[in-house]
Amino acid sequence: MGKLTSCLYVCIFLVTTVVARASATDKPWPIRAVIVTTFEIGEDTGDAPGEFQFWVEREHLNQTLAFPGGVHPIRTNADHTLLGILSGTTLINATASLMALGLDPRFDLTHAYWLINGIGGVDPNHASVGSAAWASYVVSDVAREIDPREAPADWPYGLFPVGAKGPNPNANTDSDWSRSNLYSLNNRLTDWAFSQTRNIQLPDNQEMAAHRAKWAGYPNAQRPPFVLKGDSLASDYYWHGKIMTQYANDWISLYTKGRGNFVMTDMEDSGFTEALERLDKMHRVDFRRVMVLRTGSNDCMQQPGQTAVDSINQPYIAMVPALESAWLVGSTVLHQILSGWPQYATHVPGD
């Protein structure tokens, strides 16, 4: 039994209590948007921020709701149209928490927009720390693996698709390996979100500028933080390094047949999208309304002249600016949707 399947069974068991206690006469709250984050450092307000804090404070998510199917209480605004959730990190928490929310009888989520929003490791081939990327694709990492010290000498790394005989099989082959790992988002909505935010000036500081200057030969890593379109690779491995970054670029290109572009690495997005795809099939949510926005708190590989070990252990100098960027860019789109709700309740932007 796979880990995602197992966590779905656990999730359904956990939400049974909530379902049983809900009165048949209770009318679910019609939710317009759900903000999805993964962690908080301390309290939800007033201290060092994690992914949740700026959303709670700045979107006035002042009411706290018990959430027995999750890992953290839900937050909502005064008119109960906006929800904020902290899922917990890693794929199993991401999947279980969103399934629990999607099955919660207190909420009508059929017209809700979902903003999956958080920090990640950014590929310096494509962007700098502090940059923000809207995804068209989320790709997972279900794979075969051979320790590279035992792999054939001409293999670039030891990871390859289940069902394939080695890395980078023919992407046009309709085989068993090609039927998993890929989640295609609503690209028209992604394009619209990008168009609303592409010219936003993102937070920057002298420490980040000094960090960028060390990326000789990587022009995108030397740019001040910017908004772009770029895709997400989710993995329970906290991987790092130039070789693994090449794997991530190859992997997303393989599964998207060259249409995708790896920019951000994280540990949750395929769990979120798996849960939301299943909830869509249950007519609990509308998958066309799902957006994924990640901001770069750190590089996913070492700078020139640095080792991968040194790089993975260095401080996240862009963490707070990346959290600021996540709210700044995400809230711009969220506010557009909420202010135009009579239109966007029934018409998805970009369609």
DSSP 7-47: HHHHHHHHHHHHHHHS-TTPPPEE--EEEEE---SS-SSSS
Any domain includes 190:
yes
| pLDDT top residue among 235 and 180 | 235
Any domain includes 109:
yes
Residues 6+ apart with CB under 8 A from 164: 144, 175, 177
Any domain includes 234:
yes
Any domain includes 188:
yes
User: pLDDT-based confidence at 2, cuts 50/70/90?
Assistant: low
Section 214-231 average pLDDT: 98
For residue 245 the two structure tokens come to: 């970054």
- Which range (20-24, 25-29, 215-219) has the least confidence? 20-24
Element of type H or E holding 153 = none
Any domain includes 351:
no
Section 169-190 average pLDDT: 84
Query: How many domains would you assign to the chain?
Result: 1
pLDDT the model gives residue 174:
62
Selection from 300, 273, 299, 266 nearest residue 287 by Cα: 273
Q: Which domain holds residue 254?
A: 3-142+180-344
Selection from 261, 254, 320 nearest residue 127 by Cα: 261
Any domain includes 160:
no
Section 41-67 average pLDDT: 97
Tens-digit pLDDT profile for residues 81-125? 999 999 999 999 999 999 999 999 999 999 999 999 999 999 999
Residues 6+ apart with CB under 8 A from 108: 28, 29, 30, 31
DSSP 85-131: EE--SSHHHHHHHHHHHHT-TTEE-TT-EEEEEEEEEE-TTT--TT-
Residue 36, exposed/middle/buried by CB under 10 A (0-12, 13-18, 19+)?
buried
Any domain includes 156:
no
User: pLDDT-based confidence at 178, cuts 50/70/90?
Assistant: low
Task: Please list, residue by residue across 208-218, b when 16 or more beta carbons sit within 10 angstroms of its beta carbon and e when fewer do.
Answer: beebbeebeeb
State the DSSP code for 227.
Answer: E
Contact 220, 124 (CB under 8 A): yes
Any domain includes 276:
yes
pLDDT the model gives residue 175:
66
User: pLDDT-based confidence at 26, cuts 50/70/90?
Assistant: confident
Element of type H or E holding 82 = strand 82-86
For residue 127 the two structure tokens come to: 């962007």
Coil, helix or strand at residue 55: helix
E strand segments, 235-335: 262-266, 290-299
- Which range (25-29, 246-250, 278-282) has the least confidence? 25-29
Coil, helix or strand at residue 161: coil
Residue 84: CATH number of its domain: 3.40.50.1580
Cα first-last separation, the chain: 38
Tens-digit pLDDT profile for residues 313-348? 999 999 999 999 999 999 999 999 999 999 999 999
Contact 200, 227 (CB under 8 A): yes
Distances (CA, A) of 330 to 51, 72, 76, 138, 270: 12, 21, 17, 18, 19
Whether residue 226 is predicted with pLDDT greater than 80 in this model: the reply is yes
State the DSSP code for 162.
Answer: T
pLDDT the model gives residue 100:
98
Tens-digit pLDDT profile for residues 265-280? 999 999 999 999 999 9
pLDDT the model gives residue 179:
67
Q: How many CB atoms lie within 10 A of CB 85?
A: 26
